[in-house]
Amino acid sequence: MKHTNILATVVVAALSLITSGCGTSDYVQSITLSATSDSAGGGLYNIAGWGGTLQLYVVANYHSGKSIPVTDSVTYAVTPQGTNDVGAELQAPPNTVTLNTTGMMTAVNPTECTWIDLDPSGSTASWALSGSYQVIATYKGMASQPVFVGIASAAGSTDTTNPGSCGPTS
């Protein structure tokens, strides 16, 4: 009976060592931030019109290959980059744009235009970005790649065929 207990203890100990060393634990390898629900991530997006919105999505990519949505579990940082259409520095949130804990960005007052028309005398606008808002999500201490969001919320038409309006409509 004593030998049976010793043998059982040795078997349990060996199994514990084997399973703990097999690399079975999974961990977050990266996180992806995008404005689409797929996991492609990155890019340039636009918010058109005062009150316009953009839904951001965050996915945790695990070492095992699985991807889990974590949009509501991250911390967001929004940083103005560049200037508006008249060369003034972009205001920091909550001015111009807000981003809530569910990843919804909204264009708010004061309105802003981060686009310039490269050919204002032409019949069709040729838009270029003069500034944007850089967004980075952080999940469990890991930062996402940045995405950049242009704002076309300034008063006036957002019709791309109307030179002098504020940026593209999408």
Range of the domain at 65: 26-152
pLDDT at residue 14 tops 70: no
Q: Note whether residue 8 is domain-resident.
A: no
Higher per-residue pLDDT: 130 or 40: 130
Tally of domains within the chain: 1
Over residues 63-91, mean pLDDT? 95
Residues 79-107 have a mean pLDDT of 95
| pLDDT single digits (tens) 134-162 | 999 999 999 999 999 999 988 554 444 44
Residue among 130, 135, 128, 126 at smallest CA distance from 98: 135
How far is the CA of 95 from the CAs of 53, 72, 157, in angstroms?
A: 15, 22, 21
Q: Rounded to two decimals, what is the model's pTM?
A: 0.78
CATH of the domain at 105: 2.60.40
Percent of the chain with pLDDT over 90: 57
